Amino acid sequence: MKPFIRPMIVMSLILLVPIVPFLLFGADFETWVEQWSEQPYSTPMTAAIVIALLASDILLPTPSSMISTLGGWQLGWFGGTLASWAGMTLGAVIGFALARRWGRPFALWLSTEEDLDRMRGLSQRFGPAVLIFSRGVPVLAEASVLLMGIHQLSWQRFFLAVVSSNLGIAFAYSAFGDYAQQNQWLPLALGVSIALPVLLAFTVQRWLAGRDSAPGNDS
């Protein structure tokens, strides 16, 4: 269980971000949401905030799914998709470039030996396609980017995988946020957008741990 302790603690704390204020402050939180809807930031400012927060995801435990959902809520599905896609791609590019330049020591500063080893086993089987498969999985998405940077994957192959997968994820969460805004259930949407990646990450990491410990598995 040790490989799961650090990421689970981090993601559990992130999970509390949209839930705790709603539970503790209830009506006050709903009032804040209504006021932000009536007097939101300007569109350029909102887009810049979304891009900046998502670009920091490779360095900080940013709740990217929640940010993308909020982006869709404020910018609509189209604007939210563009801002989220740009931010996620920029973050991946930063991590990839730094890992290519500084190698494994830098990657271990942002990830763990266990996560990098698991992603190495998958990359040996699937190649750069592992970037696509892992993009929606917290922790492993970052580990896959760092691993590909360590292995000096070409920029062309990196961009092809990351840009296409980020576009799909950005659209899904932004459309979800836009739909939530139209139906006035943003607090619930935020909880779902955080809980889903957390559950997905836990499930995938448990599956990978089972493969690693299976008899006769040398990867």
Task: Give the model confidence (pLDDT) of 161-194 as tens digits.
Answer: 999 999 999 999 999 999 988 887 777 777 777 7
- List, in sequence order, the alpha helices (H) in the chain: 2-25, 27-38, 43-55, 64-102, 104-110, 113-126, 130-133, 140-150, 155-183, 186-213
Average pLDDT of the chain? Answer: 77
pLDDT number for residue 28? 54
Report the SS3 class of residue 138.
Answer: coil
Q: How far apart are CA 117 and CA 147, in angstroms?
A: 9
pLDDT number for residue 118? 73
Residue ranges of domains in the chain: 2-207
Task: Collect the ranges in the chain with pLDDT lower than 70.
Answer: 1-41, 204-219
pLDDT number for residue 121? 73
pLDDT number for residue 49? 87
Q: How far apart are CA 46 and CA 50, in angstroms?
A: 6
pTM strictly above 0.75: no
pLDDT number for residue 25? 45
Q: Give the angle 188-189-195 at the CA atoms, nearest 5°.
A: 90
Contact indicator for 89, 166 with CB cutoff of 8 Å = yes
pLDDT number for residue 3? 46
